[in-house]
Structure formats: C-alpha cells, structure tokens
Amino acid sequence: MNRNAFIGRNIEILFKNSIGDNPSAVAKIQAYFGITSRYLQSMSTGMQNEKVDVKMEFADGFNVDANIKAFKQSSASYNQLTRTGIAHFCELFFDKDMQTELENLFIQKARDRHAKSFTEAIAVKVGEKADLILKWAFSFKQSREILVIYERDTSMMYIYAMHEVFKKLGKETKLSAKGSIAIGKCVVIQRKGGNGVHSLDIPKDSLKHPGNNVQVKLKMKTFISEMNDILLAQYHI
C-alpha cells in the first residue's frame, strides 16, 4: 500500500472510531437526514462501494455513507477525488474524437513537460459536462451521503452534507496557465503525471502508464473556506 493510501485508510478508521464519541455531530447528521432512531455503529466499506469509505448505521435501518478525505494546512493541500484512464473518462462523458485528442495531448505532455495537457476547446467541452463530472468525482449516492474532511495538523473533522456541497460547488471552467482545467474554485482536472513508481517498466509515453490518467483533485483549503456556510458539523479529536 502506498503512503497516500495508508494515510487514507488510517483516516477512515479514525472517523469510524471517533464519530460515535461525538453525539452533537451525530445529532446534526440525524437532524439533516430526518433520522429519528438512535445511532448504532459505523463500518468500513473498503472497496465495496465506490466513493464510500464508512457507513453509519442507525436503528431504523437508515444508513449514511461517508466519503472521507484528509489534508494538512502546512502542505499544498490537494486531495485526489478520483482518477481513471482516458478511454473510460471519454466513454462516460465524451466521444472517440475527444479520446483521440486527449491521448495525443497526454502523450505529447509525457514527452515534453512544457506541452499542454488540455486545450481551450476541451475546457469548453468539460464545462458543458461539469455537473456530471463533479457528481462522478465526488459521490456514490449524494442523497444519503456526507463528505468528511480531516485536517491533520489540527486533528479537526469537518462534515458536510453532499447534497449541499453540490448546490454550492461552482461549475464554470477555466484553462490554467499550466494547462489544467479548473471547475469552479475548488476542483481541478489534470493529467495525473508523476513517475509511476509502481510502473517503472511501462514507458512514460504509453497510455498504459498511470501518469497518463485523467485525475480530478480537490483544493482542500479553498473548499473549506468556500463551504464554511454549509458546514454541517465539526469535532476535534
């Protein structure tokens, strides 16, 4: 397991084991979702449900799914929401022409770090599908989900109702000077890049190299600032 996956797994366990010790946070979650029965337990879901890390169970059978992310104020504070291959990304949202164009751009970027991963025309097309892309990147079932962000420097858990997050997220798109695509103020789409330490036998300009995946990232500090007025609950560990 790589370091980021290890940290993510630890934060998942931290939330699972701590939420029950914070009844005021549980009460706010119950109030938002209209849950009148008592909280029972939380369970890790692992890979069973995409985007879901922990399931909160209540006595009436209602479950609340938690998507959990972590960051440090002292670092660059980006967190990966999701990533996938170009072919799958275009199968979900675009067409074969877009796939071919992105593949050519990513391969050129792998060969020349000064090349751009996206064009203005692609940014416009992404803008037309921004709502769908955001829902895919963030959520498994937003009507019964919370987003939990753990700030590692201060040991603070921030909890948001996913439905409120989607109402608040900006959908406008912009191509950055470095060639990534910003969706609103909080989300960035980019070529993943990196050396692919677990794929050293694959050429960097091969579409099989993980560095040529499409990656969606969340700007954590900006997100917390922008979402301050929809914060559902928070607690310190």
Percent of the chain with pLDDT over 70: 91
Task: Give me 130's structure tokens.
Answer: 């921004």
Segment 2-23, tens digit of pLDDT: 444 445 568 899 999 999 999 9
CB atoms within 10 A of CB 36: 10
Helix, strand, or coil here: 231?
Answer: strand
Residue 92 pLDDT exceeds 90: yes
Q: What is the pTM of this model?
A: 0.88
Q: What is the mean pLDDT of residues 18-42?
A: 97
How many domains does the chain contain in total?
1
CA nearest to 221, candidates 66, 68, 69: 69
Least confident of 44-48, 143-147, 148-152, 155-159: 44-48
DSSP codes of every residue in 58-121 = ETTS-EEEEEEEEE-TTS--EEEEEEE-HHHHHHHHS-HHHHHHHHHHHHHHHH-TTS-S--HH
Residue 48 pLDDT exceeds 70: no
Segment 160-214, tens digit of pLDDT: 999 999 999 999 999 988 889 999 999 999 999 986 656 678 899 999 999 999 9
Q: Range of 130's domain?
A: 3-236
Contacts of 31 (CB under 8 A, 6+ apart): none
Percent of the chain with pLDDT over 90: 76
